[in-house]
Structure 1
Amino acid sequence: MKTRYFALVAGIVFLVIGLLGFVPNLLTLPASAPDLAVKTGYGYLFGLFSVNVLHNIVRLVVGILGIVAYRKFVHARLFARSMAIFYGIVTVLGLIPATATLFGLIPIFGHNIWLHALAAVISAYFGYMIWERELQAA
């Protein structure tokens, strides 16, 4: 049950954050912000997390996948494992200046780095821990 609830909660959180990224009043864009090829919806959500339309779409997709994965343990575990790997890679890419904007498409620098790292660690915990009762029920 723990892994399934993780998928549901993570899905809802990512869906909400993805939707909030489309609210213009929640975005600010400092003059020092790096240039992006995709400027639509570009700004800092709550003044902290850099987003643009593509970043928001990725979060919406992750959110929807999490909610759908909640239905079965095996899907929830696959979701958590995939999220751990995906956000682990995104964290590393965010640390490298040449790839911190995913080639100008998606901003993954600044505060997004620790947010993605946190998502990867929590996802790894739920994706790779073996919950005996969940395996028996699956």
Structure 2
Amino acid sequence: MTSSNRGTAVDRSDIQKAALAVGAVFLLVGILGFVPGITTDYDQMSFAGHESMAMLLGVFQVSVLHNIVHLLFGVAGIVAARAARSSYLYLVGGGVIYLVLWLYGLIVDKDSDGNFVPVNNADNWLHLLLGLGMIALGVLLSRRTATTTTGRGRGL
């Protein structure tokens, strides 16, 4: 079994480890979004929409929907980490999703019903960094995985 295919934690490729780590962080963030104290103004959390005044770490605006999205995104990363190709798709595809979410956050009126996720300026900057970081991880680590598994630098 090669490291670019399914495997245990011992023989995972770097891109699989990256997808697993990113997924685990998203899962943790999703859980922490439901923990009073870590999420300030927890009693003011709504299911969705800009009316939710709950703030993860007192900085990032969250709602029940926002936390559920983090949980699902985390599970997706953990599942994707089973193979190099799915890890690549998770990192690059997820990065693109986060860049779209960043653009959405720049465009949407923060006080409108269109801000259903919800997002604030801190979320926007985080989404930009996540998007760029995930794409960079996916692209750079896929090249390294392809080179080490084929010896010729071919794709996943």
Q: TM-score range by the shorter chain?
A: 0.7 to 0.9
Say whether residues 1:45 and 2:56 are aligned partners: yes
What is the TM-score when the length of structure 2 is the normalising length? 0.74
Determine the structure 2 residue equivalent to 1:73.
84
Across the aligned residues of Structure 1 and Structure 2, the Cα RMSD in angstroms comes to: 2.4
What is the CA distance between 1:98 and its match in structure 2? Answer: 2.3
Matched, 1:54 2:75: no
1:117 correspondence with 2:131: no
Give the percent of matched residue pairs that are identical in Structure 1 and Structure 2.
Answer: 31
Distance 2:135 2:111 in 1: 23
2:56 and 2:62 in contact (8 A); partners too? yes
Gaps of 5+ in 2: 1-12, 42-47
Equivalent residue in structure 2 for 1:26, among 27, 38, 41 = 38
* Contact 2:98/2:127 (<8 A) preserved: yes
For residue 13 of structure 1, report the CA deviation from its aligned partner. 0.3
Highest Rg: 1 or 2?
2
What is the distance in 2 between the residues matched to 1:18 and 1:53? 9
Sort the Cα spacing of 1:57 and 1:120 in 2 relative to 1 into closer, same or farther, 3 A. same
1:14–1:63 contact (8 Å) kept in structure 2: yes
Write the letter of the residue equivalent to 1:124: I
After the TM superposition, which of the residue ranges 94-103 and 78-87 deviates more from structure 2? 94-103
- Structure 2 distance, partners of 1:113, 1:57, is 18
Note the C-alpha offset of 1:133: 3.3
Structure 1, unaligned runs of 5 or more = 30-35
Tell me the amino acid that sits aligned with residue 136 of structure 1. Answer: T
Q: Kindly state the Cα deviation for residue 102 of structure 1 after the two structures are TM-superposed.
A: 7.0
Q: Quick one: distance in 2 between partners of 1:17 and 1:101? A: 25
CA distance in 2, matches of 1:12, 1:2: 15
